[in-house]
Amino acid sequence: MTPSFVEPARRPPPGLDGLDPSWSRLVEVGSGGGDEHTWHVLDNGVDDARLTLLCVHGNPSWSYLWRKLIAGAPRDVRVIAVDQLEMGYSERTGEMRGLATRIDDLTELTREMALTGPVVTVAHDWGGPISLGWAQRHLDQLAGVVLMNTAVHQPAGSPAPAAIRAVRKRGILRRVTVDTSAFISGAVEMSRPRPSAEIRRGFRAPYDSPRRRQAIAHFVEDIPLDAGHPSAATLDAVAAGMDALADTPALLLWGPNDKVFSDLYLHDLEHRLPHADVHRFVGASHFVSEDVDIVGPLYDWLDPSTEPNPRPKLDRRPLGAALYDLSRSAQPAVLEMAGEGDSIDFAGLSRRVEKLATGLREFGVRPGDRVALMVPPSIDLTVAMYACWRLGAVLVLIDAGLGPKGMTRALASSAPDHLIGINRALMAARVLRWPGRRFSVAPLSRAQQRGLGVATDIRSLELSRASVPDYAGDDDVAAVVFTSGATGPSKGVVYRHHQVQAQRDVLMDLYQISSDDRLVAAFAPFALYGPAMGVSSVVPDMDVTAPGTLDATVLGAAAVAIDATLVFASPAALVNVVKTAGDLTADQHRSFEKIRLLLSAGAPVRLSLLQSVSRLFPNASIHTPYGMTEALPVADISLLEIEEASGGDGVCVGLPLPMIDVRISGFDDVGVAVGELTAEPGVVGEVVVRAPHIRDGYDRLWHTEYKASQPDGWHRSGDVGHLDDAGRLWIGGRTGHVISTVKGPVMPVAVEQAIEDLPDIELAAVVGVGPVGTQQLVAVAELSVGVRRARQADSELQRRVRDSTGRDVAAVLVVPHLPVDRRHNSKIDRTRVATWAGSVLAGGRMRRL
Amino acid sequence: MKVLVTGATSLLGRATVDRLVERGHEVTVFQRGVSGLSVAEQRGDVRTPADVDLAVEGHEAVIHLAAKVAVTGDWADYEQVNVGGTANVVDAAHRLGVGRIVYVSSPSVVHVGTPLVGASAGRADPKSTRGHYATSKAEAELLALEASSPELPIVAIRPHLVWGPGDEQLVGRIVDRARSGRLALIGTGLALIDSTYIDNAADALVAALDAAPRLGGRALVVSNSEPRTVRELVGRIVESAGVKPPRRSVPARLAFGGGLVAERIWDRGGLDGEPPMTSFLAEQLSTAHWFDQRETHAALDWTPTVSIEDGFERLAAWYRVQGV
């Protein structure tokens, strides 16, 4: 291929969607000697800018890619987006430019433009190495690097070389990149959702003839796949130079649905820039800036007004301290009711934890490595968990209630290095190609190990004779815990050791838990803390992902076995226990009388349920802690206090705990929580909390974390409610479920409760239809008698709903089933209900909810 | 204020006249026949400029309600009465020094063919409307609003689906059909629809008269701001009359298609009276149309005083007195 086509630079034609012609300028470079080239650049031309963004596109693309970044720039930020030479509307010089040349070109351009002052480079695709090459030459003025779906190195196992080799085959390359616009069209088409015709036209605009597309082929040819490639040395130098960016703020914005730049490249860049902030946009593709809003996240990241506000950290006992203290004790640690009814004492548990930690370390599990634990509550889970904590590995905890799809997504985003699982999980791991080196819980035959792709089993690892590993530090990351996903896509919540320690201490303080207690652990989150508290615990013979499998006798048997004093169980499980209480034996009844404290959490609990529970456990004080995956507990309330509480808007969750700060960020007119934090009673808005035991952050969701941490150090809970005169907290719903009516924001929970108090209503959701600010209230209910098909309630029921709520409810719809989450079986997916109701009440067809 | 009300014999016209009189205005009504109202009366045809001039003369304000409201008939009739009549009123008002006009319009002057959910009023568009009535009202509204000036501010009010005791247009027809067992819902009957209780609509027109000087050239939709499903609206209306709600329903597409056929037959003049269904009505009864009333409330400094529940009670009480 002998490129010889020459054409001067020019400005883009007017009328390209989203592009302001006033941004375009032509810059002549090298007029003082050497090669002269003219660039087309977009430049918002801000004088006295605090900061300049230097944006470099990849292939096939042009500066059009950055149009939204320019349109959304703050007043004091200059944005320069270049069309690389031979690309976009820059000059066609007739040369073929390699990576090294392109880095030189960019350096000359910024010199010509006299770009002084702090610069943040922003790059996508193969613009990445070019921008990084420039960055490494300009460390003195470099203020940050932002990278999107790019790479500086081919990690082992990456699919890109194959794809690129396929395209580079003689005959194919020219045909797809130059002779036709297939490559550029195809690339843009990969975007999800599909860009509009105007935007697709915008991307294709500068490449309207084969001659103008020459460089698209050259760019593909310039990707070094082997050491002998002319650009290999330059790319290696850029990769090696990444160390020089150790003190440069870095932001990685990533679309994981990318056929070429997969998560492998993200992980490679994270490895090279361990300090980088990362936001991985689940569902987004290669053109991440087209698929999702990256403008908000990027400028939030650059916002100088957000100063970190470190949270106070107290010296606490390590999570394994009780195991160490009780390493010679015959006190039972964990008792399993399933199967043989195995048990282990503290001495045994302590020994197994040390041994497994040693074995894992010897087998290559390093501190900071992520280990997905796919084991139901059991002795083995306890051993694996505390062994990981012992050596400083990070637990990845994913609820099986998310289902295969949700689990696969959670694993892709958390990318564990190792996976410890029961056989069922290992089979899923093989079939669904879950990441991580696999360890089985049960010893397997060679054939089984090969079949499941398992490295070894934990029992074999416990035979290790290596020297014990170092202890994890308090500041090390302890776990990535995935939320239930009941209120949006499941997110990985990051906890450090000191935060988990604080959570343990909060629970022990609040409920006066001591070594005299014995715990029935029927609720996963707290069930794991028994050994950390030095408390004996029993795991009932149930499937924790299906709370309905805990019936009264299963719970009774567990309580008898350990002579229990404490019960932790989910509300859904308690419903079943109450229902089956008739099957209890006299012994089991007596053991229930010895329970001093019963905790139920995870979802709203009905008063009538707690009252029934209280009759089964006559000497227990019944408590429901309130909190969320990111902050638990926030508040606590007892049955007696619930019975006394009245007059608030929503559910009373009790007084905030002494060690937690609870504030409200008040609503504006349309129900958006924008107010300054306040503890003033009666102010309705989002609940914002701060405490030593709240989450550290979100995994690979930098912007989610940023938004949830306003002000810094606080956690915006996503729940809405208010404090009352007595200081108690009331919860009225979720921020996304607030109904924005003409008369102001309405929180759904209190309205729903009023409806559920009607004798013939089983469950109700209250949602809004219509535009924000003028939404109408709609009630969607399950009747106790049940209905076969969704319909509008009869006028008598509608009247009673309107009377009992005192609200103008536009319509009451009755349905066979409301959608509830799998984990708690009680949190209604109001967003789905609202979408459904909106469609039905617009006159659409009656679809299933 | 001396106020002329055109087309005062309609339900809304009579209620508006009552309000104006209560407020101490000096009211004249203008229509073809005898109004039976105890106010000054000028009889004539809105299509005849001389008649209109006579009526408008000496008034400070006009509430222009006169219109041909139907689903069949020749375009020429609609054009003459609704467009020509409005032009005559506006023209006379200009020449005779009237200070303000409230033009009573219809939400059907904007047709988008998709559900209207919390919609704002939007600009009238005769090109998009369905049926002669809506098209002529749209043209008349544009004409009226364009003629608005600081000297003669003109505001268009579009009351949405006015009903109340004594209403023959909507309530009467629904009840008649239900009585004879000819009433069926269209589609699911679950489209949310705004409606306006008669007293609220009349109040809004009076409020618009007061506010006209600062609202010249604007169009506002007026409703109770309590949308209900078609099923509930129809059900509550017939229940008020002591009739059982309809149980049958016709698929929306079928109703729409049937409406198109019926329109064609009636257009050819083959049959008397009104067709049982039109495509416009089928669409109106099977897609949501309710409106964002915030702008209206602020502009008119008015909010509905009779809730839809109270409205149904009053309707039921009226039917009880009627003894039917």
Q: What is the pLDDT of residue A311?
A: 61
Q: Between B170 and B46, whose confidence is greater?
A: B46
Q: Which residues of A touch B236 (CB under 8 A)?
A: 795
Residue B255 covered by a domain: no
What are the pLDDT digits (tens) for B186-214?
Answer: 888 899 999 999 999 999 999 999 999 99
Looking at the DSSP bridge assignments, the partners of residue B192 are B229
Residue positions counted in chain A: 849
**Coil, helix or strand for B5?**
strand
A 10 A CB-CB count for A530 gives: 26
pLDDT in tens, A77-96: 999 999 999 999 999 998 88
Using CB atoms, pick whichever of B117, B225, B231 lies closest to residue A842.
B117
Chain A residue with the nearest C-alpha to that of B298: A742
What is the average per-residue pLDDT within A770-780? Answer: 96
**A and B: number of Cβ contacts within 8 A:** 73
B13's enclosing H/E stretch is helix B11-22
> CB distance B227–A776 less than 8 Å?
yes
Task: Identify the band that residue A312 occupies on the pLDDT scale cut at 50, 70 and 90.
Answer: low
Q: Rounded mean pLDDT of A839-848?
A: 89
Instruction: Give mean pLDDT, residues A687-710.
Output: 95
**Do the domain assignments include residue A554?**
no
- Is there a contact between A838 and B117 if contact means CB atoms under 8 Å apart? yes
Closest chain A C-alpha to B101 CA, distance in angstroms: 29
For residues A522 and A78, what is the distance between their CA atoms, to the nearest angstrom? 57
Q: Per the CB < 8 Å rule, is A810 touching B191?
A: no
Q: Determine the Cα–Cα distance for residues B153 and A183; give it in Å rounded to an integer.
A: 60
Interface contact B192-A845, CB threshold 8 A: no
pLDDT for residue A822 is more than 80: no
The single residue listed with the structure tokens 């289902």 is A403
- The upper half-sphere exposure of residue B148, i.e. CA atoms within 13 Å in the direction of its Cβ, equals 22
Q: Name the minimum distance, in Å, from the CA of A767 to any CA of chain B.
A: 15
Residue A139: Cβ within 10 Å count? 12
φ, ψ of residue B248 in degrees (nearest 5): -80, 155
Which candidate in B103, B133, B197, B319 is catalytic?
B133
Predicted confidence (pLDDT) at residue A825 exceeds the cutoff of 90: no
Q: Is residue A113 part of a domain?
A: yes
Instruction: Please check whether residue A136 lies inside any domain of the structure.
Output: yes
Q: Is the peptide bond before A711 cis (omega within 30 degrees of 0)?
A: yes
Is residue A348 domain-resident? no
Q: What is the CATH number of the domain that holds B121?
A: 3.40.50.720
Nearest chain A Cα distance for residue B302, angstroms:
14
* Residue A730: both structure tokens together: 């009331």
Q: Where are the beta strands (DSSP E) in chain B?
A: 2-6, 26-31, 40-43, 61-64, 100-104, 116-119, 154-159, 162-163, 185-186, 192-193, 196-197, 219-222, 228-229, 249-250, 289-291
Instruction: Determine the pLDDT at residue B268.
Output: 64
B259 against A435, higher pLDDT: A435
Residue B249: the pLDDT is 78
**DSSP alpha helices (H): ranges in A249-398?**
263-272, 288-291, 295-302, 321-325, 346-362, 379-391
Are A795 and B191 inside 8 Å of each other by CB? Answer: no
Q: Could you tell me which chain A residue has the CA closest to the CA of B189?
A: A843
* Percent of the residues in chain B that have a pLDDT greater than 90, as a whole number: 68
- Written as one letter, the residue type at A688 is V
Instruction: Count other Cβ atoms within 10 Å, centred on residue A602.
Output: 30
Amino acid at A497: H
Tell me what pLDDT residue A823 has. 63
pLDDT band at B53 (very low <50, low <70, confident <90, very high): very high
Specify the pLDDT at position B270.
54
Domain membership flag for residue B123 = yes
Output DSSP code: residue B244.
Answer: P
Per-residue pLDDT, A255: 96
Residue A367 has pLDDT above 70, yes or no: yes
DSSP codes of every residue in A633-694? EEEEEEHHHHHH--SSSSEEEEEEPTT-EEEEEEE-TTS-EEEEEE--TT--EEEEEE-TTS
**CB contact (8 A) between residue A795 and residue B232:** yes
Give residue-wise pLDDT tens across range A414-470.
999 999 999 999 999 999 999 999 999 999 999 999 999 999 999 999 999 999 999
Q: Does residue B311 form part of some domain? A: no
- B128: burial class by Cβ within 10 Å (0-12, 13-18, 19+)? middle
For residue A241, the enclosing domain spans 1-303
pLDDT of residue A179: 85
Contact A792 B190 (CB under 8 A): yes
Closest residue in chain B to residue A790, using alpha carbons only: B188
Q: Which residues contact A589 (CB under 8 A, 6 or more apart)?
A: A556
Average pLDDT score over residue span A341-365: 96
pLDDT (mean) for A372-401? 95
Tell which wins on pLDDT, B138 or A226.
B138
Q: What is the pLDDT of residue B216?
A: 94
d(CA A347, CA A354): 11
In this model, does residue A593 exceed pLDDT 70?
yes
Handedness of CA A513, A515, A520, A526 (dihedral sign): positive
Buried b (16+ CB within 10 A) or exposed e, A500-525: bbbbbbbbbebbebeeebbbbbbbbb
Examine residue A619 and state whether it is found in any structural domain, yes or no: no
The mean per-residue pLDDT over the stretch A246-262 comes to: 93
Query: The tokens 């707290």 sit on which residue?
Result: A526
pLDDT tens digit sequence for A184-201: 888 888 888 889 999 999
Instruction: Give contacts of A845 with chain B, Cβ < 8 Å.
Output: 187-188
Angle CA(A12)–CA(A17)–CA(A20) in degrees, nearest 5?
Answer: 60
As a whole number of angstroms, the distance between CA A441 and CA A372 comes to 13
3-state secondary structure of A186: helix
pLDDT reading at A56 higher than 70: yes
Averaged pLDDT, B82-109: 96
How far apart are the CA of B200 and the nearest CA of chain A, in angstroms?
17
Q: In angstroms, rounded to a whole number, what is the distance separating the alpha carbons of residues A150 and A103? A: 16
The Cα of A795 is separated from the nearest Cα of chain B by a number of Å equal to: 7
In a domain, A704, yes or no: no
**pLDDT tens string B297-316:** 999 999 999 999 999 999 99
- All residues of chain B having their beta carbon less than 8 Å from the beta carbon of residue A841 are 190-192, 229, 288
**Does B94 map to a domain?**
yes
pLDDT classification of A163: cutoffs 50, 70, 90: confident
**High-pLDDT (> 90) share of chain A, %:** 80
If you average pLDDT over every residue of chain B, what do you get?
90
* Catalytic site includes residue B103: no
Count of domains for chain A: 2
Q: Which residues of B touch A (CB under 8 A)?
A: 115, 117-118, 187-192, 225-229, 231-232, 235-236, 239, 252, 286-288, 290, 292-294, 309
- Provide the 10 A C-beta neighbour count for residue A292: 20
Q: Give the gap in angstroms from C-alpha A442 to the nearest C-alpha of chain B.
A: 57
Write the pLDDT tens digit of every residue in A546-558: 777 899 999 999 9
pLDDT band at A227 (very low <50, low <70, confident <90, very high): confident
In a domain, B256, yes or no: no
Indicate which of B226, B229, B302 best probes the interface with A, i.e. most A CBs within 10 Å of its own CB.
B229
DSSP A199-242: HHHHHHTT--STGGGHHHHHHHHTS--STTSTTHHHHHHHHHGG
Task: Mark out the alpha helices in B23-84 (DSSP H runs).
Answer: 49-56, 75-78
Say if A658 falls within a structural domain.
Answer: no
Domain that holds residue B215: 2-166+197-223+289-306
Q: How far is CA B50 from CA A223, A262, B32, B72, B84, in A?
A: 86, 80, 13, 28, 13
pLDDT at res. B264:
67
Q: Is the pLDDT of residue A162 over 80?
A: no
Q: What's the token pair of residue B207?
A: 């409020």
> What is the CATH number for A817?
3.30.300.30
Average pLDDT, integer, range A716-738: 95
| A contacts of B189 (beta carbons < 8 Å) | 792
Contact B290 A770 (CB under 8 A): yes
Are A845 and B236 within 8 A, CB to CB? no
Cβ distance B190 to A843 less than 8 Å, yes or no, reads: yes
Q: Is residue B228 included in any domain, yes or no?
A: no
Tokens read off for A52: 């300049």
Residues A36, A40, A45, CA angle at the centre, nearest 5°? 115
CA A695 to chain centre: 12
CB contacts, 8 Å: B232 with chain A: 792, 795, 798, 811
Residue B10 belongs to some domain of the structure: yes
Interface of A with B (CB under 8 A): 742, 769-771, 773-776, 792, 795, 798, 802, 808, 810-811, 813, 838, 840-846
Say yes or no for a CB contact (<8 Å) between B192 and A811: yes
Q: pLDDT tens-digit profile of A502-540?
A: 999 999 999 999 999 999 998 876 778 999 999 999 999
pLDDT, residue A1, reads 46
For residues B263-296, one letter each, b for 16 or more C-beta atoms within 10 angstroms of the residue's C-beta and e for the rest, the string is beebeeeeeeeebebbbbbbbbbbbbbbbbbeeb
A contacts of B118 (beta carbons < 8 Å): 770-771, 774-776
pLDDT of B323 > 80? The answer is no
Task: Inform me whether the pLDDT recorded for A351 exceeds 80.
Answer: yes
Residue type present at position A31:
S
- Specify the number of domains making up chain B: 1
Give the nearest partner residue to B232 out of A773, A775, A792, using CB atoms: A792
**Residue at B75 is within a domain:** yes
Indicate the pairing of strand A142-148 with strand A250-254: parallel
Question: Which is more confident, A553 or B324?
Answer: A553
A476-495 mean pLDDT: 87
The least confident of A61-65, A115-119, A172-176, A777-781 is A172-176
pLDDT digits (tens, 9 = 90+) for A740-751: 999 999 999 999
CB-based contact A805:A752 (threshold 8 Å): no
The predicted-structure confidence for B120-130, as pLDDT tens digits, reads as follows 888 999 998 88
Q: What mean pLDDT value characterizes chain A?
A: 92
At A89 the three-state DSSP class reads coil
Q: What is the pLDDT of residue A605?
A: 78
Residues of A in contact with B254 (CB under 8 A): none
Cα A210 to Cα A64, A82, A97, A176: the distances in Å are: 20, 22, 17, 10
Write out chain B residues lying below 8 Å of A770, CB-based: 117-118, 290
DSSP string, A152-166: SS--TT-SHHHHHHH
Cα-based angle B52, B58, B61 (whole degrees, multiple of 5) = 80
Please state which of the ranges A95-109, A410-424, A621-635, B271-285 shows the lowest mean pLDDT.
B271-285
Over 70: is that where the pLDDT of B150 sits?
Answer: yes
**Nearest CA to CA, how far is A794 from chain B (Å)?**
9
Distance, CA of A178 to CA of A188 (rounded, Å)? 16
CB contact under 8 A, A842 and B188: no
Task: Supply φ then ψ for residue A454, to 5 degrees.
Answer: -95, 135
Tell me how crowded residue A189 is: count the other CB atoms within 10 A of its CB: 14
Question: Which of the two residues, A406 and A305, has the higher pLDDT score?
Answer: A406
Mean pLDDT of B239-258: 80
Which chain A residues are Cβ-neighbours of B252 within 8 angstroms? Answer: 843
When pLDDT is averaged across residues A266-294 and rounded to a whole number, the result is 95
CA distance A650 to A233: 64
Would you place residue B266 in the very low, low, confident or very high pLDDT band (cuts 50, 70, 90)? low
Chain B CB contacts of A844 under 8 Å are: 115
Instruction: Report whether A741 contacts B260 (CB < 8 A).
Output: no
| Residue numbers in B near A798 (CB within 8 A) | 232
Cβ–Cβ gap A846/B188 under 8 Å: yes
pLDDT above 60 for A50: yes
CATH number of the domain encompassing residue A298 = 3.40.50.1820
Distances in Å between the Cα of A346 and the Cα atoms of A321, A322, A350, A353 are 12, 9, 6, 10
**Residue at A509 is within a domain:** no
CA distance A843 to chain B (A): 4
User: What letter does residue A7 receive in the DSSP assignment?
Assistant: B
Q: Per the CB < 8 Å rule, is A843 touching B286?
A: yes
